[in-house]
A and B are shown apart, each in its own frame.
Chain A
Amino acid sequence: MLPLSVPLLTVAALATLGYLLAARRAIAVSGGDSRTLAALPAQYALNALLTIVIPALAVLIGGAMAGGGALTGWVVIGVALLCFAGALLQITPDYRARNHAETWIKLILMAASVIAILTTLGIVFSMIFETRNFFSQYRWQDFFLSTEWSPNFRGNSALGILPLLWGTLYISFIALVFAVPIGMFAAIYLSEYASPRMRAIAKPAIELLAGIPTIVYGLFALITVGPFLRDYFAAPLGFGDSASSVMTAGLVMGIMLIPFVSSLSDDIINAVPQAMRDGSLGLGATKSETIRQVVLPAALPGVVGAILLAASRAIGETMIVVLGAGAAARLSLNPFEAMTTVTVKIVSQLTGDTDFASPETLVAFALGLTLFVITLGLNVLALYIVRKYREQYE
C-alpha cells in the first residue's frame, strides 16, 4: 500500500501542471488572441485545477471511508491522470470555463454545508450503535427504572440511571432558581430603567460571565464556594459536611447561566412593541406596573423559551458538576449532600483504562444518548416557542 503522501503529492503536482498548461493551451487554441475565448485564460486554468483536484480527493476520502483498500492510492493517481488529460483536451475557444469552474466551487461549498449533517449523523449513530451493544448486555428495564448506581468493573454492576437523572435535575433546578430571577430582573432593569451609561458598563460586565470557560467556574466551586457553603451553612445547620454538594454546583451553575438568561430575556423584552408600553403608561400605570402587567405577559412565551434553553444548558453542563457536585449517586432531598449527574458519570466511565466490551464502559454511551435526547428535546421545544412568539409581533 502506498503511503498517503504519494497520491497527495502526485495530485498536487498534476494540479499545478494542469493549472499552468491550461492557461497556455487556452491562449494557443485562441490563436494568440484571448478575446476570442469564452472565458479568461486564468479561468481555464482554475477550471483545470479544480477538475483534477476534486474528483481525486473525492475518491481518496471515499476510499478512506470504505476502509482504505490497498488500491486506493493507485486509483487516486489514475483518476487524477485521467482528469488531467480530460481537463486539457476539453479546452476550446467555446468552452465556458468560468461556468464550469464555478460549478466545481459550488460543489465544494455544498459539501462543506453537509458536514453539519454528517456531524449530527455521526453523533446519533455512534451513540446508538454502542447503546445497542450496551442493551444487549444489560436489561434496559434495569437501566431506566433501577434506583441503584454502583458500577463494578468485576461485573454484576447496578447501572440505574434514576439517581443520576435526579442529581442532574436537582442541580439544574437550583441553578435555575438562582439564574432566572437574577437574569430576568437584570434584563428588565437594563432595558427599561438603566441610563445609557450604566447600560454600557453593566451589560458587557454581565456578558463577561458568559465568556468565562466552565472549568473556571468548576475551580471556583471547588476552592471557594464549596468550602464556604460547608463551613457557614451545611455544617452549622447540621446538613452534612461535604464541600461538594448539589448546592455548590447549583449555585455556581446559576452564576454561569445569569448572562444566558439575561441576554435572551433582553432580546425578548426589546421585541415587545413600544406602542404597548406607551398605551399602558398613557393610561396612568407606573413603569413597574407596565412591565408586570403588559410587557411580561406579552413576553411570556419567549421567557419560557429562554428558561428551557437555560435548562438544557444546565443539564448538559459538565465541568462544574465534575468539580462541584461530587461522585456519589444518591437519591436524596438534602441540597448540601454530594450527588452526581449524568455528565459526571459519562466522564468517569470513559476516562482512564476503558474496555469497550464491558457494560460499565458502554453505559456511558447510553447515558450520552439519554442526555442528547433530553437536551435536543428541550432545545427544539424552546426554539419552537421562541420562533412562534417572535412571529406574533413581526
Chain B
Amino acid sequence: MSYKSLLTVDARTKRRNAAETRFKAYGLAAIVMAMLALAVLLTSVIGTGASSFKQTYATITVPLPEDKLDKSGVRDPDVMKKVTTIGYSSLLKNGMVAALQTAGISTDLNAKDIGGMLSKEAAATVRGFVLANPDVIGGDATFELLMNGRIDGYFKGRVTMESAALDGNTSPEELALAQALADAGIVRTKFNWAFLTAPDASDQRPEAAGLGVAILGSLYMMIVVLVLALPIGVAASIYLEEFAPKNRWTDVIEVNISNLAAVPSIVYGILGLAIFINFMEFNQSSPLVGGLVLTLMTLPTIIISTRASLKSVPPSIRDAALGVGASKMQSVFHHVLPLAAPGILTGTILGLAQALGETAPLLLIGMVAFVREYPAAYTPEAGLFGEAATALPVQVFNWTQRADPGFVERASGAIITLLIFLLIMNAIAIFLRRKFERRW
C-alpha cells in the first residue's frame, strides 16, 4: 500500500475543484450577462435618442410682401388668416434662394427642392409670427427655421449620401447643398428646447414633434395619483397595521392587496375603460381617468411599503404614548406616523415612479390620441384634469407606430427624458432613506 502526501491532489479532488471553479464561473457569467444586458439596453436607447436633443435650424431672411400676405392692407389678423401655410411656403422658398445667392452658393437644384429642405413646420412658424405681428408685413424678417427631418438626420449621421440616393424624400444633392449652407453658417445645429416644450406633430414632420403635451399630461396624472393614492394608501395601512382586529375579514383584505399588486397592469386599463369611461362617463384620454387608473394600480405598492415602515416603528414608542394617557389614535398620529413618514414617502415616490412609466392601461383609456393642444388643468366644460392629453410613455409608443424613421429618434429621446425623471425620483427616494431612516 502506497501512501500519498496530503499535498498532492488526487484525480477526484481535482475533479471536484474543477467543478467548484466552473460553478463559480457560471455565477459570475450570469452577473456579467445581466450587467451587459443593462449596458446594451441603455447604450442602444441613449445612442439613438441623444440626438433628438439637438436640432438643425436655418437662419434666413424672408421677404414678407404685402400683396401676398395682406391684400386688403388693413392688417386684420382675421382677414390675414385666409393666407394658408402654402402661401407662406413660397415666400420661404424665395428666402432660401436669396440666402443661397447672398452666400454665393450655386446649385443645380430647382427652387421647389430648395424650399422643400425646410420643414413643413417652418411655414406654420412664419405664419404664426406674422399673424401675431402684422406690422412686419411689407419688410423683411429674419427667422430661425427648422430644416426637414432628412437634412436634420444628415447632420446627426442618420442619413447618408447612400441612403439619400434611395430615398424619395431627399437626394444627395440636397445633402451636399445643406453641407454648403452649414459651411456658410446659415444652417446650424443647436440644443433643441422645442423637443421638451412643443406638442406632438403630424406624420410628415418628425423634426417638429415634441414632448410638451406628454410631459404636462404625465404631470397632471402624477398629481392625481399623489393626491389620491398617498392619503388613501396611508389610511388603509394604518387601519390594517394598527387597528384591524385579526379576523377573516382582515385576512380577506390582506390577501386581496397582495394579489392586486400582482394583477397585470393591462387589467387595470380594462377596469378604467369599463368603470370610469363607459359607466361613469368621464372624458376619454383625460389625465383624470389616467390618474385614477394609475392610483388604483399604485395603491397596493404604497400600502405594502407603508405597512412595512409602520411595522418598523418599535412598539415601545406606542406603549410610551399610551402610558402617558394618549389614546390609540393619538399614539398613531402623533408618534408612529411621524416616525414612519420618511419610509412612507420613499415608498410613495417609488410607487409614483412606477406609475410614471406605466403604459399599457393608458392605451386602453384612449391616451394614444393625437393631441396638439396643451391640456388645461381646469376648464368649466371638461372639469378638473378633464382635457385630452397624452403621457410620456404613451407618446413613446405612439411614435414607434409612425412610418417616418425620424420618429425612432424621437421615441428614444422621449425614453431618455422619461428615464431622467425616473432617475431624479429614485435619487430623491434614496436620499430620503439615507438621511432620515432610523434603525431601532
Contacts and interface: CB of A to CB of B under 8 A. Distances in A.
Interface stretch (B87-95, B195-203, B239-247): B239-247
Contact of A211 (B240, B262, B360, B426): B426
Interface in B258-286: 258-260, 262-271, 273-275, 278-279
A17 B329 CA distance: 25
Contacts of B436: none
A211 B264 contact: no
Interface centre among A123, A130, A216 (most CB of B within 10 A): A216
A318 B266 contact: yes
B257 A116 contact: yes
Nearest to B26: A185
A350 B422 contact: no
Nearest to A289: B16
Nearest to A216: B415
Contacts of A289: 16, 19-20
A255 B239 contact: no
B266 A217 contact: no
A386 B19 CA distance: 30
B353 interface: yes
Nearest to B383: A4
Interface stretch (A24-32, A78-86, A87-95, A98-106): A98-106
Contacts of A309: 262
Contacts of B303: 116
B41 A189 contact: no
Interface stretch (B32-40, B59-67, B70-78, B131-139): B32-40
Nearest first, the 8 A-B pairs at minimum CB distance are A316-B264, A213-B357, A189-B27, A185-B30, A126-B274, A112-B235, A288-B23, A109-B239
A375 B263 contact: yes
Given A109-B235, A183-B30, A316-B263, 12 more contacts: A109-B236, A186-B27, A192-B27, A213-B357, A216-B418, A286-B16, A289-B16, A312-B262, A315-B264, A318-B359, A371-B266, A372-B264
Given A123-B267, A343-B266, A364-B270, A215 B396 contact: yes
Contact of A288 (B19, B257, B400): B19
Contacts of A350: 269-270, 273, 363-364
Interface in A342-383: 343, 346-347, 350-351, 356, 364-365, 368, 371-372, 375-376, 379-380, 383
Contacts of A392: none
Given A127-B274, A318-B266, A371-B264, A182 B30 contact: yes
B220 to A, nearest CB: 18
B113 to A, nearest CB: 30
A372 B267 contact: yes
Contact of B419 (A99, A108, A216, A291): A216
A205 B35 contact: yes
Contacts of B35: 202, 205-206
Contacts of B40: 224
Contacts of B38: 205-206, 208-209
Contacts of A371: 264, 266-267
Contact of A262 (B17, B34, B238): B34
A365 B240 CA distance: 32
Contacts of A160: none
A122 B41 contact: no
A368 to B, nearest CB: 4
Contacts of A111: 235
A144 interface: no
B160 to A, nearest CB: 17
A99 B19 CA distance: 68
Nearest to A121: B256
A351 B267 contact: no
B271 A322 contact: no
A251 to B, nearest CB: 9
A275 interface: no
B252 A372 contact: no
Give the interface centre of A113, A122, A206, A312 by most chain B CB atoms within 10 Å.
Answer: A113
Interface of A: 98-99, 102, 105-106, 108-117, 119-120, 122-123, 126-127, 129-130, 181-186, 188-190, 192-194, 202, 205-206, 208-209, 211-220, 222-224, 255, 258-259, 262, 286-289, 291-292, 309, 312-313, 315-319, 322-323, 343, 346-347, 350-351, 356, 364-365, 368, 371-372, 375-376, 379-380, 383
B270 to A, nearest CB: 4
Contacts, number: 250
Given A219-B415, A255-B41, A119 B299 contact: yes
Secondary structure at the A interface, as helix, strand, loop or mixed, is helix
Interface in B394-411: 396-397, 400, 408, 411
B20 A116 contact: no
Contact of A346 (B27, B244, B266, B368): B266
B141 interface: no
Given A116-B260, A288-B20, A317-B264, A216 B45 contact: yes
B360 A375 contact: no
B300 interface: yes
A223 B44 contact: yes
A356 B270 CA distance: 13
A230 to B, nearest CB: 15
A108 to B, nearest CB: 6
B253 interface: yes
Contacts of B20: 286-289
A208 B41 CA distance: 12
A212 B358 CA distance: 10
Contacts of B270: 123, 126-127, 346, 350, 364-365, 368
B262 to A, nearest CB: 4
B31 interface: yes
A335 B411 CA distance: 27
A116 B253 contact: yes
B105 interface: no
A109 B303 CA distance: 12
Given A106-B329, A112-B235, A127-B270, A216 B41 contact: yes
B214 to A, nearest CB: 12
Interface string B302-344: 0100000000000000000000000111000000000000000
Nearest to B38: A209
Interface string B428-440: 0000000000000
Contacts of A383: 258
Contacts of A356: 278
**Residue among A194, A209, A346 facing the most chain B CB atoms (10 A cut-off):** A346
B223 interface: no
Contact of A115 (B232, B271, B329, B364): B232
Contact of B259 (A292, A368, A379): A379
B396 A185 contact: no
B31 A190 contact: yes
Contacts of B299: 115-116, 119
A215 B359 contact: yes
A214 to B, nearest CB: 7
B278 A316 contact: no
Contacts of A214: 357, 359-360
A127 to B, nearest CB: 6
Contacts of B212: none
A113 B19 contact: no
B227 to A, nearest CB: 14
